[in-house]
Structure 1
Amino acid sequence: METPTPDPHSGAVLDGRYVLGERLRSDASGSAYAAHDRATGTTVVVTVLHPWLVGDAPAVHAFRGRAQHLEAVSHPGLARFLDHGRDGDRVYAVNEYLRGEPLAEVLDGAFPVHEPHRALTVIASVLEALDAAHAQGIVHGALTPDRVVVGDDGRAGITGFPLLFDAAEDEAPDTRTDVRAVGLLLHALITGEPADPGEARPLRPSALVDSLPPDLDMLVANATDPNPRYRPRDAGQYLTLVEQVMRSLSRPLEEGGADTTRPIPIAAAELPAPRRRPLRRRVPVLAAAVLLVAALFATGWALFPREPEATLPDLAGVAAEEAEARLESLGLGLVVRFRDTYHDTVEPGGVAGSEPGPGAVLAEGDAVMLALSVGPRHADVPDVVGDTENEARDLLREAGFTRIDVVQEHSAEQLPGTVLATEPAAGREGDREDPVVIRVSEGVIVPSLDGMTQEEAVDALTRVGLTAVVVEQHHETVEPGGVSAQNPEPGSILPEEGEVSVTVSTGPEPEEEPSESPSETPSEESGGDRDEESEDGDGDGHNDGHGGGQGGGWDDHSCSAPAWSPGTTYEEGERVSHNGREYESRWWNQDNEPDSGTLWGPWSDRGRC
């Protein structure tokens, strides 16, 4: 019988706080684990970057950057991101553990999926949560039934945000990607059947469920259209459509509240036939009844005034905050929602229109949709050639272009990350619904030289167009001739023929020989040590005046940097002394001994004290 391969992370403790347990899932980001947070005593989810990506500096940067962005998003329906960091060779992020039933299990029959209102309630809560993320410029990108959790109240929560996306994908996911994913969820909830994500036509649940209201078909078909251009722009816009359909559908009867009322049958034969009065005798009675009804109507009108009403003012061109204040001043408790729209004349942020339109009569609690201008649909592409990729992104966003595709190209003339060209070209008019392609100089990615000899390292750098600068230095654990360090680190990007410093081990430090002359005084011995240290040339300015003591031994007290202490937290750039050598922290770390022998660990060996 085969023995299953043990999980490389399960049971590990990150930074002395997060105890990793069962693996929940894996994706392009890494593996997610249920974990125990010792500091709070709660269950959390910890996503650990794949080991083969830890040496990929751009991947680590993207992973930690997205985790940091997600920490800024807060909504009851989103699993909050709580922390991120690095513990040795493990890069990780921590998010809240949402309790409830995964939608994937709900679809197996634990939920009455064929009731449209209940399905729409789940979908509306998913969209409310997604709307909060989309408002911060963050997409989920991998929303599936196993990443949606349904609580006891029937509302849904979203978890499983990927921290990296598969580079093999044709296009980066955007808000319309999330909308299609929600459409697939709605189709599954209505029909009870999982939808095919690769379907090339808009999905219509009426093909599987008879007598389905056409509005539901419209909701699913609009969201699952293969062409993103025809889908709702984002979660907020789709939520508006869902809520409209929810209001248009008649609500189902409450559970256990079936209408058992029946009209009481009356046999006409058992009732005596009414006698008719002569017309002349009925006229006074009818006139009196009319007067009585009129009096009662007038009295009732006075005693029971009509519900408050107001007319919707014309808010065109008014800023969103002012428009909302004006509607609030009507005193009707209106539900005000917003959606984005292009407009050629109204300044961004101003009201371009409303639903219903100006002059409509509003009653208490009515909903008003305000269309806010995001400026014209077409704009001139700014000139970003020669700028860095980040600078180009900022300028394009300021011009209104939010869809930006990056194509990396080799360039011997430009530094890595420099924009070489754009499509459309600078000064040309671009459609803000279409992506702007920026071509960026890729440079050369520095390979990992871990475990190589000097000859192998020089050859590896030469083959990718980089220049090796060899530096020799003693090392306690790396064999002579082996690479003990490199600068810059693996994954960094350099221009072609850029230099990489390769530190090659010359073996451990030689032990100092005892003094041959017994007449030498300790001060003379100390002086000799200082001379040797000066001749070695590997000091960093901290060696003067710190002799090795009798017997040639070294200890932490001969270093100017504070001694390393277990349990102490060290930030990036801090220096410590340990076993006669000085180390500098590459990143935040704790309980990582400096001379552990890990080549790419959190400590950089700065030489003897």
Structure 2
Amino acid sequence: MTPSPDSPVGTVLRERFALGPILDADAAGSTYQARDLSEDRDVAVTVLGPALSADPAAAHAFLERARTLGSVHHPGLARVLTQGRDGDRVYAVTEHIAGVSLAEGGQGARHAPRAALSIAADVLSALQALHAAGTVHGGLRADAVRIDRDGRVRVARHPMLPGCPGAAVPDTRADVYAVGALLYALLAGVSATRDDRPLRPSSAVLGLPPDVDMLVANATEPNPRYRPRDAGQYLTLVEQVLRSLPPDAPAPGRETALLGDTASATVVLEVGLPGPETALPDVPEPRSAFAEPDREDAPAWRRLPVLIGAGALAVLLLAVVVWTLLPDADDGRAASADRTPGAAQPTDPASEEGVPEPSASADADDGVVVPHTIGMDQAAAVALLEGLGLEARIVERASATAPDGTVVDQDVPSGEPAPGDGVVTLTVSSGPAEPAPPVTDGEEPGSDTSGSDTDSDPGGGSDDGPGPDRENPGRGNGNGNSNGNGNS
């Protein structure tokens, strides 16, 4: 090992990895740009801090984390190549991803919804591989996500001691929140600040589709319990919304240079640390890590059959949707008398909760995940569920705190698979409860003293037997001899 008096920069670990400029640092250690002298390639080397390197437990956790990450293989993840010790230094070596990070774009760059969701889907696909292996990323930021030279979205850096030292170890829902915050920044063009409320990009971007807004809100719920449980579940939601979006127009509210515009391409800002705007003319449009290479030189006549086929498929899908949405004539006439157009069918709140049959609905087979609707108004919540192919049933309940028409509860928690019948019961506030009628002196609550309704007169006896007031058989007409018990 080449000694360095002040800094590891210039140090060669194991006579192989020459450390260059520092790329990142946190409480656990520092990451350096480096050169693998044996393989003649660029790498990134993370070195554990001196204090933690001297702690056997921390050093062991660092090396075990590196081995775990090295066992996970996914095209969207930078590979951990090796790990080890060199004297008093503990290190891990990661593949270097050439390209640009999402943090290198600039303040104010907005992505259109489809472009933003495509990036988020690729990040979630990579995180899903980590979660399936029983580990988490634990420190996802915009500067850790890069668009490589082939246009693929890749997670380039991994914290080697997530949550260390002193902080709670992150779980899969912390990764989900990080993707939600990243998606907010891609859509809104501003840094996401952690808050005690879900993030909503619609507050900064006019005309944003409601489903896209809810995707961000679901992932950034302050209570982790209400978020999708892991990257795979959130990816299912993102892909469902992606399939429903039309082709991208420019991002609403501001003209934006997208990554596909090679004349003046920009990438979105850091989530939390905005940087200067940067032109990136050589960066191709981001695409999935599994996508085939684009054939830009294909003549127009070769693309014509694809366009015709896509048009025919769109017409067929539209016909199927219209057919499924048209109610039977009898059902429509019966329903129109009971509810207003667009309202969901009310249901009994005491409906039985059970495990649905797997074959009861195609939605369950498609992996539909129930979104978070609490706090939304009824119409928006119903539209969100119906957009996912689910049915909303409404139960009203008085609430002194929630405005009238606001969803206050749902029978299936957000992030959980939809029930087999595809029905989600929403409890909607009917406003404050009506006050009880005033009670006059000498009158017990609920008593009827009007005496004008003979059918409800508590003393209404008959000649055939005693009235309800058995202690005073004559009560009912003021004559205790003839009406109370039918005997003179």
Q: State the TM-score, normalizing by the size of structure 1.
A: 0.41
Pick the aligned partner of 1:146 from 139, 143, 148: 143
Residue 148 of structure 1 aligns with an amino acid whose one-letter code is V
Match of 1:78 in 2: 77
- Structure 2, unaligned stretches of length 5 or more? 251-259, 262-311, 317-352, 370-414, 416-488
Taking the aligned partners of 2:361 and 2:66, their CA distance within structure 1 comes to: 38
1:101 aligns with 2:100: yes
| TM-superposed deviation, 1:355 | 6.2
The structure where strand makes up a greater share of residues is 1
Taking the aligned partners of 1:192 and 1:16, their CA distance within structure 2 comes to: 44
| TM-superposed deviation, 1:108 | 3.7
> What is the DSSP-based 3-state SS (H/G/I as helix, E as strand, rest coil) of the residue aligned with 1:106?
coil
1:157 aligns with 2:154: yes
Pick the aligned partner of 1:369 from 367, 374, 378: 367
1:182 aligns with 2:179: yes
CA contact (8 A) 1:355 1:368 kept: no
Query: Aligned pairs, how many?
Result: 271
> What is the DSSP-based 3-state SS (H/G/I as helix, E as strand, rest coil) of the residue aligned with 2:124?
helix
- Structure 1, unaligned stretches of length 5 or more? 257-303, 308-342, 359-366, 372-432, 434-609
Taking the aligned partners of 1:6 and 1:352, their CA distance within structure 2 comes to: 66
Taking the aligned partners of 1:136 and 1:344, their CA distance within structure 2 comes to: 31
Match of 1:136 in 2: 133
| TM-superposed deviation, 1:106 | 2.6
Taking the aligned partners of 1:127 and 1:171, their CA distance within structure 2 comes to: 22
| TM-superposed deviation, 1:354 | 8.1
Which whole-Å deviations, capped at 9, do the CAs of 1:35-59 have from their partners, x for residues lacking one? 1001111100111111112221101
CA contact (8 A) 1:354 1:368 kept: no
Query: Is the alpha carbon distance of 1:175 and 1:107 closer, same or farther for their aligned partners in structure 2, counting shifts above 3 Å?
Result: farther
Taking the aligned partners of 2:118 and 2:6, their CA distance within structure 1 comes to: 39
Equivalences for 1:200-599 in 2 at 5 Å?
200-252=196-248, 352=358, 356-357=362-363, 368-369=366-367
| TM-superposed deviation, 1:368 | 3.3
CA contact (8 A) 2:125 2:231 kept: yes
| TM-superposed deviation, 1:152 | 4.9
Query: Is the alpha carbon distance of 1:177 and 1:89 closer, same or farther for their aligned partners in structure 2, counting shifts above 3 Å?
Result: same
Taking the aligned partners of 2:77 and 2:89, their CA distance within structure 1 comes to: 25
CA contact (8 A) 2:236 2:368 kept: no
CA contact (8 A) 1:107 1:193 kept: no
| TM-superposed deviation, 1:159 | 2.3
- Identify the range of structure 1 (113-122 vs 5-14) with the bigger mean alpha-carbon deviation: 5-14
CA contact (8 A) 2:28 2:164 kept: no
> What is the DSSP-based 3-state SS (H/G/I as helix, E as strand, rest coil) of the residue aligned with 2:367?
strand
Taking the aligned partners of 1:10 and 1:161, their CA distance within structure 2 comes to: 20
- Larger relative contact order (C-alpha < 8 A, sep ≥ 6)? 2
Query: Is the alpha carbon distance of 1:134 and 1:354 closer, same or farther for their aligned partners in structure 2, counting shifts above 3 Å?
Result: farther
- The alignment yields a C-alpha RMSD, in angstroms, of 3.1
| TM-superposed deviation, 1:210 | 0.8
Query: Is the alpha carbon distance of 1:41 and 1:344 closer, same or farther for their aligned partners in structure 2, counting shifts above 3 Å?
Result: farther
Q: State the TM-score, normalizing by the size of structure 2.
A: 0.51
Which whole-Å deviations, capped at 9, do the CAs of 1:333-384 have from their partners, x for residues lacking one? xxxxxxxxxx9989xxxx95686258xxxxxxxx93399xxxxxxxxxxxxx
Match of 1:121 in 2: 118
Taking the aligned partners of 1:40 and 1:144, their CA distance within structure 2 comes to: 29
Residue 14 of structure 2 aligns with an amino acid whose one-letter code is D
Query: Is the alpha carbon distance of 1:355 and 1:117 closer, same or farther for their aligned partners in structure 2, counting shifts above 3 Å?
Result: farther
Residue 367 of structure 2 aligns with an amino acid whose one-letter code is M
Work out the percentage of aligned pairs sharing the same amino acid.
51
Query: Is the alpha carbon distance of 1:117 and 1:355 closer, same or farther for their aligned partners in structure 2, counting shifts above 3 Å?
Result: farther
> What is the DSSP-based 3-state SS (H/G/I as helix, E as strand, rest coil) of the residue aligned with 2:238?
helix
| TM-superposed deviation, 1:8 | 1.7
> What is the DSSP-based 3-state SS (H/G/I as helix, E as strand, rest coil) of the residue aligned with 2:24?
strand
> What is the DSSP-based 3-state SS (H/G/I as helix, E as strand, rest coil) of the residue aligned with 1:237?
helix
Query: Is the alpha carbon distance of 1:100 and 1:48 closer, same or farther for their aligned partners in structure 2, counting shifts above 3 Å?
Result: same
Taking the aligned partners of 1:54 and 1:103, their CA distance within structure 2 comes to: 31
CA contact (8 A) 2:176 2:219 kept: yes
| TM-superposed deviation, 1:229 | 0.2
> What is the DSSP-based 3-state SS (H/G/I as helix, E as strand, rest coil) of the residue aligned with 1:104?
coil
CA contact (8 A) 1:33 1:45 kept: yes
> What is the DSSP-based 3-state SS (H/G/I as helix, E as strand, rest coil) of the residue aligned with 2:366?
strand
Query: Is the alpha carbon distance of 1:149 and 1:247 closer, same or farther for their aligned partners in structure 2, counting shifts above 3 Å?
Result: same
CA contact (8 A) 2:83 2:93 kept: yes
Query: Is the alpha carbon distance of 1:247 and 1:115 closer, same or farther for their aligned partners in structure 2, counting shifts above 3 Å?
Result: same
Taking the aligned partners of 2:239 and 2:152, their CA distance within structure 1 comes to: 15
Query: Is the alpha carbon distance of 1:137 and 1:191 closer, same or farther for their aligned partners in structure 2, counting shifts above 3 Å?
Result: same
Query: Is the alpha carbon distance of 1:357 and 1:213 closer, same or farther for their aligned partners in structure 2, counting shifts above 3 Å?
Result: closer
| TM-superposed deviation, 1:107 | 4.4
CA contact (8 A) 1:107 1:189 kept: no
Taking the aligned partners of 2:143 and 2:125, their CA distance within structure 1 comes to: 18
Pick the aligned partner of 1:195 from 192, 196, 213: 192
Which whole-Å deviations, capped at 9, do the CAs of 1:163-215 have from their partners, x for residues lacking one? 1134455531000000000000000000000101x311101011111111111
Query: Is the alpha carbon distance of 1:151 and 1:167 closer, same or farther for their aligned partners in structure 2, counting shifts above 3 Å?
Result: closer
Match of 1:301 in 2: none
Which whole-Å deviations, capped at 9, do the CAs of 1:221-253 have from their partners, x for residues lacking one? 000000000000111111111111111111126
Match of 1:87 in 2: 86
Residue 140 of structure 1 aligns with an amino acid whose one-letter code is H
Taking the aligned partners of 2:209 and 2:368, their CA distance within structure 1 comes to: 28
Query: Is the alpha carbon distance of 1:43 and 1:118 closer, same or farther for their aligned partners in structure 2, counting shifts above 3 Å?
Result: same
Residue 87 of structure 1 aligns with an amino acid whose one-letter code is D
